[in-house]
C-alpha cells in the first residue's frame, strides 16, 4: 500500500511557526526539540492514521508527549490533512472552519 500524501493546512502551518517562534525566543534548543517531536508525530500519523482516537467532526488527534499540543488531522482517500497544531489549552474545535 502506497503512503498517502501530506497536506498541511495553511493555518496549521502558521500555528506551528508561531509555537516554534515562541519556544525559540525562550530557548533555541527547546524549539528544535519541539520541531523534532512534531516531525515524528506527523510521521507516525502518516504510517498509521487510524491508530489515534477519533475526534470532532470525523477528525483524529495525536497528542504530543512533551509539549502541550495536539495535532488534529483527517484522512482522505489520497492524503492526510493536518488541520491544526493546537495548543491543548485552546478552545476545542476552534479550527472547525478549516474542514
Q: How far is CA 30 from CA 13, 14, 43, 49, 89, in A?
A: 19, 19, 20, 27, 20
Query: Is 0.85 surpassed by the pTM of this model?
Result: yes
Q: What are 34-68's pLDDT values in tens digits?
A: 999 999 999 999 999 999 999 999 999 999 999 99
- Does residue 97 form part of some domain? no
- Does residue 98 form part of some domain? no
Q: What's the average model confidence in pLDDT over 84-92?
A: 90
Q: What are 4-23's pLDDT values in tens digits?
A: 899 999 999 999 999 999 99
**Domain of 42: which CATH number?**
3.30.2310.20
- Does residue 94 form part of some domain? no
- Does residue 45 form part of some domain? yes
Beta bridge partners of 61: 72
- Does residue 49 form part of some domain? yes
Encode burial over 88-99: b for 16+ CB neighbours within 10 A, e otherwise. Answer: eeeeeeebeebe
pLDDT interval class at 2 (50, 70, 90): low
- Does residue 68 form part of some domain? yes
Amino acid at each position: 500500500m502506497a503512503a498517502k500524501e501530506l497536506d498541511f493546512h495553511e493555518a496549521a502551518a502558521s500555528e506551528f511557526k508561531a509555537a516554534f517562534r515562541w519556544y525559540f525566543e525562550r530557548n533555541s534548543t527547546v524549539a528544535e526539540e519541539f520541531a523534532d517531536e512534531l516531525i515524528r508525530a506527523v510521521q507516525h500519523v502518516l504510517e498509521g492514521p487510524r491508530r489515534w482516537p477519533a475526534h470532532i467532526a470525523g477528525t483524529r488527534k495525536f497528542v504530543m508527549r512533551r509539549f502541550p499540543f495536539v495535532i488534529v488531522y483527517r484522512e482522505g482517500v489520497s492524503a492526510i490533512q493536518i488541520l491544526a497544531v493546537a495548543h491543548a489549552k485552546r478552545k476545542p474545535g476552534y479550527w472547525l472552519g478549516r474542514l
